[in-house]
Chain A
């Protein structure tokens, strides 16, 4: 029945206004990438003014210090795509560093501890998601509460004492070992980024996240299980945060209960700098990773230029606000 109406009609000409114009696309391209342009200029500044900034060693160092934020940003991108936020990622990273180190003390095989810790993070993320979707409490509040709970737990576990990791292989697998000249941390970043791209941009669940954040009513009306999309996003975000926290512990050969303090700010900044809208519905994983790398370049560049770490924090904050304001949508 439906087919018979789908015959051609003479009304096509009238609706030619329905076409999008080429210049609109060009304008949007520039608008979408304005922060990249700004950070490109900042990088250029460092290359010109900092001695030996443009070197493979620098790139490796930045890759290493950026890995944690990059990996967490992959999960955060999904949550923000759904028009939610997860403020608990830094605290979860701290807790995971502690729990992971304690897990290693039980004598578990290092390679096995990695998926266990990732699943642990997914579980915490799932709890966040369940509270948000079932109780209809804004994720800002839920995850703010969770931040407090998780960081408190991390400190309570050992009375704020760090937990040493005796096993050297874990550090090699997760952070310091090299493969084809690149540190393991960089390889993990690439792996998480690729997986994130697959989930968010190629798979159906990613499309559902984008629709959920883009217009929740429309998504529901198109038969999308909006709550499930959010649950998956929170779970992935938790998994990424937990993995990143464990990576920090592996790198330092010890679980430190305050290792993740404040990381959520860098992560969210990376996502927004990367062009993902805080209002949901648009964004990209690759943008978030680039955003994280930019933050790394900024921090590293400021050190190389010789600013004290205290002033660095101020400069970094200002630049992040400027970048985010340019990218406000």
Chain B
């Protein structure tokens, strides 16, 4: 990991499933716009079967992070994995994403971001804004930020999808300052 800290960009890669190119490129632009960090899109990473919990029919996001930490050594500041798989951690029924707080890796799931998951009609704009918010949120964690008490802030904890829909796709001014501070200190 030490070698990777020198680089100053972010890697986005599909994890365990195909993700549309248009989603990845738009996401890269979005991150650049919000954080001023260049993104590179990399090839899909396959994950081992050990991440799959057959009883729950879901994928263990912590196991995915563990796998990424030990198997990929990207020369980037942060690595964000995007997956269609439904993610969980052992104690929770589901998670929208997971990151190593103050670490290098994060993974987010699109599974529960589709309006269809909640029996709502398709809505590409809503879907994409959920992806943006979830990604920026997990990226914030990866930079060391914790949850914010401002409901509009992207670092507000998303317990339900309604929380995600209510917040904006940007940091509040305090979290943005903190983000910059952590980014400076991450170099």
Q: Do A and B bind each other?
A: no
